[in-house]
Structures are given as structure tokens and as C-alpha cells.
Amino acid sequence: MIGWYNVTCNNSKHIVQAQRYLFNKYTAWNPMYLDVKDNPLVNWGKKVASMLPDEPYIIFGLDDFLPIDKMDMLRFADALHIMKTTDLERFELGWGASGKKGFIDRINYIHQDDINGNKIPYLEYGHETPYKVSCQFSIWKTSALKRELNKCTDAWNFEVKGYCKAACFKSGTEVFRWIEESAISGRQKGKINLCGLSAKDEKELLNLELIEKDKIIYGWKGNSQRTEESYGNKYKQYFD
């Protein structure tokens, strides 16, 4: 099984134990955390690149994306197979990736010599598709990830200026679900966004004292109440 690496720092590491708990609940991974501490943002990319392993493929993301559902290991195997049999450099695992423009429909096969075998449809990022590079959880060709990290400054610059050959599955056939908006942000200092987390998971995190009740909000508009409106269509299946 390939390694999973999430970046953390002094500003965000207070969320790591909550994320780790949810990873243990919903995935087969206990991620490794790359702690850049108070490393200057202008040098964030090079610092993270220097901490990555030399493995051919890894899964990469940040410490502030909270898992909300079981990872589909069969779909993960499909995604990894596509990565290994094409020239793709990144495969995003989540729900929201396909909600952009400019995708190209592609087909891969479980057995490359059998075009009538099991087909795996996926979407390749086209010329106009934004965020070919992303911090959202993705399978990466490690050499490509290091290349893009070494070219950037901070995480925002990495996503906006970076370029790689990327793909994803259509929403509804994704590998994994997590809260794709950060759990922590400078927009609401000290608050923790749980919009997308089930009531059961929220209760478990509170009981384990991994989060504090008075810090919870539901979305970065600052909603203090869990409502169907705040969860919207994206997370409606997790509102209970």
C-alpha cells in the first residue's frame, strides 16, 4: 500500500488528532505528517518537497481536510491502476474535483490487452480545467509533486501556478469523501469548520475532546448552527 503524507505546521497542527481519528475510522491509512513548523511561507514548497520520500507514488494532502465517509478501496485500486498505466501525474480522489469545465472523457481498461474487458471511465483535466495542481487528497507521481513544489512558494501559489497532467472520477463515483473546505482558516480565527461532518462523528470528536464545542462553525460564512441549508447539496447526505 502506498504511503499517505499530509502537511502540517504550527498554525494548524491542533487539528491533526481529529483528522487522524477520522482517518483511522474511514480509511486503511494512518497518514505520515510532514511538519514544516514555522517555516516561512515563501519557502513552503521547497521545504515540503525536501521532506517527501523517494517512493514512485504517494497520496498527498493537508492536515485540515476532515474525512467524512468510508474510502472505496476498489475505486482507489482503479485510480492507482490508471496512474500506473498512463502518463498522468496526479489523480484527485474527491467529490468536488469534476465540478469544473474543460474535462476530457477517457477510458482505461483493467487488462490493457483486452478492449472488451472491464472499462474504467475517468475525466482528464483539459486545457481550460483549473487547478490541475491541488492540495486536495490525490495520488501523485512523487517526482511530479516534487517538481511542482520546488517551483512554488506557498500552498496557494502551488495550486494556482502549478501544472501537471491530472484526472479524477465523476462525482458519485469518487474514491473518498472529506470536507473539501479547510477545517481551519484565517477568515474565522480560532474556529473549526465542520460543515459536512455527520452529527455522530461530531459527537465522537467532542467526547474525545479532539475539538471544542464553542469553536465549531458550519461553513466559512460563520454559521453557528447545523442546518440543511449550510450543508447544501454537496454534503446533504451527511446532514442528520
pLDDT in tens, 64-122: 999 999 999 999 999 999 999 999 999 999 999 999 999 999 999 876 555 566 889 99
Inside any domain, residue 220: yes
pLDDT in tens, 161-215: 999 999 999 999 999 999 999 999 777 889 999 999 999 999 999 999 999 999 9
Predicted pLDDT of residue 26: 98
Number of domains, the chain? 2
Q: Is the pLDDT of residue 131 over 90?
A: yes
Which domain range does residue 121 map to? 4-168
pTM of the model: 0.95
Q: How many CB atoms lie within 10 A of CB 82?
A: 21
Residue range 224-240: average pLDDT? 93
Inside any domain, residue 178: no
Same domain membership, residue 111 and residue 161:
yes
The length of the chain in residues reads 240
pLDDT in tens, 150-159: 999 999 999 9
Could you tell me what percent of the chain has a pLDDT over 90? 89
- CB within 8 A of 115, min separation 6: which ones? 109
Read off the CATH number of the domain in which 78 is found.
3.90.550
Tell me which residue of 5, 67, 54 sits closest to 34, measured CA to CA: 5
Predicted pLDDT of residue 223: 85
Q: What is the largest CA-CA distance in the chain?
A: 57
